[in-house]
């Protein structure tokens, strides 16, 4: 499928998605969001890990497209926010791991896109922020929901109320990202992490992701009960039989995702 603002590369089990709108530093307009939603909906089981990054050296995603937002009224603003939130929720609930390789500016909608991914690694030149209040708006693509969950309310409120932009080392310190690498290393490190995931049972990873995501908002009994259910479900898979047999017979497992 052809996209105007997305570049897609398929490797062995890994798909790399680049947001590509260089004139706006990859800022998200409604067309890009719709393309992104269509792409997410089109992924098949050949993709076992998705890596999302930005095209170019300066920006992951510099935010939502202000030139489009400036003309919106209240109902249109609601619909634009809803579109972004729905697309990012679709990314968050994909049954495969999603790695954000943040190569530059991740501001506003860019920070929110990264937060919708399972894991965030960043270039040492990356910068993060939710500067929306300086434009008279609030984070609109689920930033007020995800940021406190990732870094706690104190840091999240400080970032959102001040609109300050932080460097990658500060983002690492407060738990917003997993690791920082030199720019020339970033994509290789993302691929290395993806390759480690490919060695493991796809069904187990999917069920682990479901348990983490769905259990997070439950009370302890509910979350543990969900984990018990999904743990039991593993034993109905061929991957579990293969993994344990490989371990007992000291051989490499050959997982089929079944």
**So which residues are the catalytic ones?**
112, 132
CB count, 10 Å around CB of 100? 29
Q: How far apart are CA 160 and CA 108, in angstroms?
A: 10
Q: Which residues contact 221 (CB under 8 A, 6 or more apart)?
A: none
Rounded to 5°, the CA angle 33-215-199 comes to 75
Read off the tokens for 105.
Answer: 């500016």
Six-digit token pair at 23? 């004139």
Least Cα distance to 127 among 166, 101, 164 occurs for: 166
Distance CA 101, CA 99 (A): 6
Tell me the C-alpha distance between 111 and 141, whole Å.
10
The radius of gyration computed from the CA coordinates of the chain, to the nearest angstrom, equals 19
- Give strand pairing partners of 135: none
DSSP string, 150-218: HH-HHHHHHHHHH--EEEHHHHHHTTS-SEEE-GGGHHHHHHHHHHHHHTS-HHHHHHHHHHHHHHTTS
């Amino acid at each position: 499928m052809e996209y105007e603002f997305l570049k897609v590369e398929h490797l062995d089990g890994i798909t790399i998605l680049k947001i590509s709108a260089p004139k706006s530093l990859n800022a998200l307009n409604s067309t890009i969001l719709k393309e992104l939603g269509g792409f997410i909906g089109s992924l098949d089981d050949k993709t076992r890990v998705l890596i999302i990054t930005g095209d170019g050296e300066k920006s992951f995603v510099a935010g939502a497209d202000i030139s489009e937002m400036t003309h919106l009224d209240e109902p249109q603003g609601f619909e634009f926010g809803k579109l972004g939130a729905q697309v990012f929720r679709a990314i968050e609930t994909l049954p495969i791991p999603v790695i954000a390789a943040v190569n530059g500016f991740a501001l506003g909608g860019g920070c929110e896109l990264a937060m919708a991914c399972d894991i965030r690694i960043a270039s040492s030149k990356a910068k993060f922020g939710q500067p929306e209040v300086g434009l008279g708006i609030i984070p609109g693509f689920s930033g007020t929901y995800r940021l406190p969950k990732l870094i706690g309310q104190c840091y999240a409120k400080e970032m959102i109320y001040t609109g300050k932009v932080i460097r990658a080392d500060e983002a690492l310190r407060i738990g917003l990202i997993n690791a920082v690498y030199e720019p020339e290393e970033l994509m290789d490190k993302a691929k290395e992490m993806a390759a480690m995931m490919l060695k493991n049972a796809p069904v187990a990873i999917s069920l682990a992701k479901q348990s983490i995501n769905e259990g997070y908002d439950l009370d302890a009994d509910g979350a543990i009960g969900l984990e018990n259910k999904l743990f039991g479900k593993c034993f109905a898979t061929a991957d579990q039989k293969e993994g344990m047999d490989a371990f007992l017979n000291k051989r490499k497992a050959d997982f089929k995702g079944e």
